């Protein structure tokens, strides 16, 4: 059985993960509108990954006999800047999510909730990957600068991002 305090925090995280999906889908729509089909595809795959994250939290709540509560998700922005600015915003958002995950780990430690602490380790590792991936895109875009041919190639490369595979239950 999960404590009320942890349950509340995990339900908040479900909402945050769903917002992440909503944000990336909005970025995808903007990029598609701007003709950046590869970046749109990359953001669409990121949306699917965030939905997997939300579901992982949701399923854990249910496994621990908690009541999953889906709350209101705020609307994300619908206009963004350059591809570089979009990925900078993505990194900023991932850093925010990382802090939230760390806060959950701290809460699990405080409550001596070993099962939740263990489950959260997957997310700790996942956030390292999320931030590294966004940083890599920023580095590439900084190298590209104002070279249209390089941007064309970068956009084309992002079209190859495969759909995420849900993690195997532990």
What's the CATH code of the domain at 138? 1.20.1260.10
Q: Is residue 53 part of a domain?
A: yes
Terminus-to-terminus CA distance in the chain, angstroms?
18
Q: Is residue 169 part of a domain?
A: no
Distance CA 128, CA 71 (A): 27
Q: Is residue 164 part of a domain?
A: no
Count of domains for the chain: 1
Question: What integer pLDDT is reported at residue 66 of this predicted model?
Answer: 96
Quick: pLDDT tens for 113-126. Answer: 999 999 999 999 99
Model confidence at 170: pLDDT above 60 = no
Question: What integer pLDDT is reported at residue 169 of this predicted model?
Answer: 58
73 lies in which domain range?
4-158
Question: What integer pLDDT is reported at residue 1 of this predicted model?
Answer: 81
**Are residues 83 and 36 in contact, defined by beta-carbon separation less than 8 angstroms?**
yes
Residue 163, H or E segment: none
Q: Is residue 84 part of a domain?
A: yes
Quick: pLDDT tens for 20-64. Answer: 999 999 999 999 999 999 999 999 999 999 999 999 999 999 999
């Amino acid at each position: 059985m999960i404590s009320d305090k942890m349950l509340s925090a995990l339900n908040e995280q479900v909402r945050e993960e769903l917002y992440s999906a909503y944000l990336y889908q909005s970025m995808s729509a903007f990029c598609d509108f701007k003709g950046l089909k590869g970046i749109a595809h990359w953001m669409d795959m990121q949306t699917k990954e965030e939905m997997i994250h939300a579901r992982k939290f949701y399923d854990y709540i249910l496994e621990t006999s908690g009541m999953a509560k889906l709350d209101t998700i705020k609307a994300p922005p619908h206009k963004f800047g350059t591809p570089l600015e979009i990925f900078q915003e993505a990194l900023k958002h991932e850093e925010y999510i990382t802090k939230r995950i760390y806060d959950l780990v701290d809460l699990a430690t405080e409550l001596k909730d070993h099962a939740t602490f263990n489950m959260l380790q997957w997310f700790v590792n996942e956030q390292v990957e999320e931030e590294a991936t966004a940083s890599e895109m920023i580095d590439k875009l900084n190298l590209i600068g104002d070279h249209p041919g390089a941007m064309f190639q970068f956009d084309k490369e992002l079209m190859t991002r495969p759909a995420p595979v849900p993690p195997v239950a532990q």
